[in-house]
Structure 1
Amino acid sequence: MWYNDLRPDNELTNNRYSLIMLDNKNNYKRLLADKDKKRIITNIVKLREGLLKEIPSKQVDENLLLASWNIKNFGKIKDRTAESLYYIAETINAFDIVALQEINSDISHFKKVLSILGSYWKHTISDITEGNSGNDERFGFLYDSRRVTLSGLSGEIVIPPEILHQHPIISQLKRTPTFTGFESGWQKFSIISIHLHPGEGTNGIDMPTDHQIRKEEVRLLTEVLKKKLARFSSDDRDTVILGDTNLYKEDTDIVQLFHNIGFTESTGLEGKFTNTSLTQIYDRIFFNSRYYFRLNIDENGKQVGGVFNLFNYVYQNTPEVINEYKELMLLHKNDPTTLISDEKFTSYFNRYWKRDQISDHLPVWIEISTNNSNNFLKSKLSKF
């Protein structure tokens, strides 16, 4: 991690150090004052302690930590502070591969996070999905090149016209999914990142409901995947589907479509709320294991994985913490005159401020075993 910007100002008087948090629209003015740095360092220490407690440690030739995170309008929200970018980067650094959704056309914040992470962190990023429904969004993967490499497989999933019904509800997914191949130790697998249609609305007479649109997206996606997986080489057939699926608790019929083509949901994640409000299971991880791919198992027999709630460590919902950000909230809000009491500040902090600073989604993750030598050797022994 690159922490030079967090040095006290008296260490930076002669600009000996390369800095990241500079305002390139205002004569490259530093974005952090000493009081900000003190708060950030204090919170990073707490966040690191939380990550150490909740996320397994990285073990060479033993495991791989895969995460998915929808970072709200990443690049479009201009009031996201330099402070927040440090917390986002620190969280990403706990994993080996992180699939990101909602990266917008402006990737300046994405680049700052990449710079904080350090030179061994690499990335792939898709172009934006054109059209209003695409919302100028793109998908990205960040990965720790000391622990994982690209396998060379990369592409987008587009729905071919021959698999469409005569009168389809949709002709393409709103946001074009991407797939990328990775390799680590014994594991070689592909990851498909998706961001499905949201909502639970009826959308008026003679219009498909949000549920119907989302189900049709998954139906078309699984039709394509069924054919694509059959063509993949044996090395690339172990596949993970992850992202902001926008699947609600009652969307069991949509989940079944994934099951129908051989994908199962990580048991470590099943039923866990993934939005900041802790009310819905929007973000999911499904995998199709055909060869040596497997997830690590905990002492209760569940696959290791979970949801990391970084708001337990930063932007905590306490009067003391909220008071620290009142000045920034007044600058952030379109009409600051409405913030007239502690109750109003608290409401705004929880409903808007912290979600615009970090996200309205929490990162979800799984632990993959990368040491399958015994399984391989035993399978070969049985053939003699």
Structure 2
Amino acid sequence: MAQYWKLRTIENKKHRIHVSERLRALRNQLNRDVTERTNEHDLRLATWNLMHFGNNGGYWRNTEALLYIAEIIDHFDLVALQEVNTNLSQLKDLMKNYLGVEWDYIVTDTTGGRLGNKERMAFLYRKGKVRFSRLAGEVVLPDGQTIVGSSGLENQTLFNRHHQFARSPFVVGFSCGWLDFKLCTVHIYFGSNPKKPLLMTDAEYSTYKGQFMEIRKSEIRELANFFAERQKKERRTELKRLKKLGWDTAQSEANYILLGDFNIVSPQHETMDALKQAGFKIPDGMENLPTTLGKKVGFYDQIAHRLADKRVQHRVSGAVDFRESVFRTEDADHYIDVVKDEFVIGKTGASRSRDKMRQYFNRYRFKHQMSDHQLLWSAFDVDFAEDYLERIAKEAAT
């Protein structure tokens, strides 16, 4: 259960009242859209790109934002986070003081290289519902497979240094209910970005910026193919083992779920095809869900699966538009009048007009304190007790 004691540390009483009211609205929204559409036996799985989470400066989350973030996460069982910063102090604060002892986490090391932007990825999971199976590792492509090899760019100097993923995908084994599965979180390289990567020189950016989309498509394609082939091998091995034991009707455990920020352009784009062609399925109702906030509509975040266990049933999917309840457009005047210190001065040091302060709130403030992405989620029925008991009864009757 999310912790609320930090509310008392908000010194401005008017703002403390506002945050309390917005938290109640957010809880009601999440109960309506998530809790009431699922049940306690479902695995409620989510992915969220938390924009520059843990960065200093304008991206450092205050108490209010951490309360909202924790409330959203606490309505799920297993959440993959992208864009976690090198500095883990904010993540540790979130876990200890806002989510509490019911939750635990696994976090990756930062990815080196010019395209990785020193980001981490993390898995947050509810310990009473989800179990970590002690399997974890980065995805490294086998010899002979490269990110850009099939794109005709392998002879370019820059890309010779980036034959692996710009940000290493991270795979972890979990179990929930009757299901054992491997979960891989990704943050696929964006490409076609007007801003150059953090560690890239101006000269390199000028030379290669027109080829970045090829990296994006290639990363998605190679990742999906990697896990499709891995699943086939694991399934063959597992079925041989089960056959020796005489368990002809047993289910294989080669269940893979990919989730995260794939930077999918649209459901009809080649970036989505690169994922589907390897046999990964997008849950019903999810493919056409936009997941970005702001002027530009994006379908970047996805949850895709290849499940060997046919008993798994997808229930429902959705995206959490937190601006329905918090950091709403109509809240701008409250922040300008009550939390004014953070709004009055612009980047140049000059005072902002009231209209400029409203623009700042609605264009940037909610992104920097929450995210420019919605949380994307899917619920799966992982209670196979009825199937198991029926099978036992049939075996006894023969």
Give the CA deviation at 1:321. 3.9
Q: 2:222 is matched with which residue?
A: 220
Please give the alpha-carbon distance, in whole angstroms, between the structure 2 residues aligned to 1:381 and 1:363: 42
- Given candidates 177, 198, 207, the residue that maps to 1:185 is 177
Please give the alpha-carbon distance, in whole angstroms, between the structure 1 residues aligned to 2:253 and 2:342: 47
Please give the alpha-carbon distance, in whole angstroms, between the structure 1 residues aligned to 2:225 and 2:350: 52
Which stretch shifts more, 348-357 or 213-222?
213-222
The answer (yes or no) to whether the contact 2:265–2:271 under 8 Å persists in 1 is no
Give the CA deviation at 1:379. 6.2
- Given candidates 350, 371, 375, the residue that maps to 1:337 is 350
Give the CA deviation at 1:183. 0.8
Which stretch shifts more, 88-97 or 204-213?
204-213
Please give the alpha-carbon distance, in whole angstroms, between the structure 2 residues aligned to 1:260 and 1:364: 22
Give the CA deviation at 1:222. 2.6
The answer (yes or no) to whether the contact 1:85–1:109 under 8 Å persists in 2 is no
Mapped pair 1:2 → 2:11: no
In the TM superposition, 1:29-178 aligns within 5 A as: 32-57=11-36, 59-60=39-40, 62-78=41-57, 79-115=60-96, 116-164=98-146, 165=149, 168=154, 170-178=162-170
Q: 1:288 is matched with which residue?
A: 306
The answer (yes or no) to whether the contact 1:163–1:223 under 8 Å persists in 2 is no
Higher helix content, 1 or 2: 2
Please give the alpha-carbon distance, in whole angstroms, between the structure 2 residues aligned to 1:100 and 1:38: 29
Give the CA deviation at 1:324. 4.6
**Structure 2 counterpart of 1:286, which letter?**
A
Which stretch shifts more, 315-324 or 132-141?
315-324
The answer (yes or no) to whether the contact 1:66–1:97 under 8 Å persists in 2 is yes
The percent of aligned pairs where both chains have the same amino acid is 27
**Count of residues paired in the alignment:** 354
Which stretch shifts more, 324-333 or 363-372?
324-333
Mapped pair 1:369 → 2:369: no
Please give the alpha-carbon distance, in whole angstroms, between the structure 2 residues aligned to 1:324 and 1:161: 59
Please give the alpha-carbon distance, in whole angstroms, between the structure 2 residues aligned to 1:85 and 1:212: 36
SS in 2 for 1:80: coil
The answer (yes or no) to whether the contact 1:65–1:95 under 8 Å persists in 2 is yes
Mapped pair 1:305 → 2:307: no
**Structure 2 counterpart of 1:261, which letter?**
A
After superposition, the C-alpha distances for 1:302-357 in whole angstroms (9 at most, x for unaligned) are: xx101100111000001544435651433674235252132x12211122111000
**Structure 2 counterpart of 1:71, which letter?**
L
The answer (yes or no) to whether the contact 1:76–1:104 under 8 Å persists in 2 is yes
**Structure 2 counterpart of 1:216, which letter?**
S
Mapped pair 1:352 → 2:353: no
The answer (yes or no) to whether the contact 1:174–1:197 under 8 Å persists in 2 is yes
- State TM-score, norm by structure 2: 0.81
- Given candidates 228, 231, 237, the residue that maps to 1:229 is 231
Please give the alpha-carbon distance, in whole angstroms, between the structure 2 residues aligned to 1:43 and 1:206: 45
Mapped pair 1:271 → 2:288: yes
In the TM superposition, 1:192-203 aligns within 5 A as: 192-200=184-192
Query: Is the alpha carbon distance of 1:117 and 1:83 closer, same or farther for their aligned partners in structure 2, counting shifts above 3 Å?
Result: same
SS in 2 for 1:334: coil
Please give the alpha-carbon distance, in whole angstroms, between the structure 1 residues aligned to 2:351 and 2:113: 35
> What CA RMSD, in Å, does the superposition of the two structures yield over aligned residues?
2.6
Query: Is the alpha carbon distance of 1:149 and 1:371 closer, same or farther for their aligned partners in structure 2, counting shifts above 3 Å?
Result: same
Give the CA deviation at 1:152. 2.4
The answer (yes or no) to whether the contact 1:126–1:138 under 8 Å persists in 2 is yes
Please give the alpha-carbon distance, in whole angstroms, between the structure 2 residues aligned to 1:153 and 1:291: 19
Give the CA deviation at 1:150. 1.0
After superposition, the C-alpha distances for 1:122-158 in whole angstroms (9 at most, x for unaligned) are: 1111111112321111110111111111122211101
Please give the alpha-carbon distance, in whole angstroms, between the structure 2 residues aligned to 1:364 and 1:295: 18
The answer (yes or no) to whether the contact 1:330–1:336 under 8 Å persists in 2 is no
Structure 1 segments unaligned to the other structure (5+ residues): 8-29, 298-303
Which stretch shifts more, 374-383 or 135-144?
374-383
Q: 2:212 is matched with which residue?
A: 210
Please give the alpha-carbon distance, in whole angstroms, between the structure 2 residues aligned to 1:309 and 1:92: 13
Structure 2 segments unaligned to the other structure (5+ residues): 195-204, 239-251
After superposition, the C-alpha distances for 1:224-259 in whole angstroms (9 at most, x for unaligned) are: 223322333655411111101111116632322322
Please give the alpha-carbon distance, in whole angstroms, between the structure 2 residues aligned to 1:190 and 1:201: 31
Query: Is the alpha carbon distance of 1:123 and 1:293 closer, same or farther for their aligned partners in structure 2, counting shifts above 3 Å?
Result: farther
Q: 1:25 is matched with which residue?
A: none
Which stretch shifts more, 239-248 or 70-79?
70-79
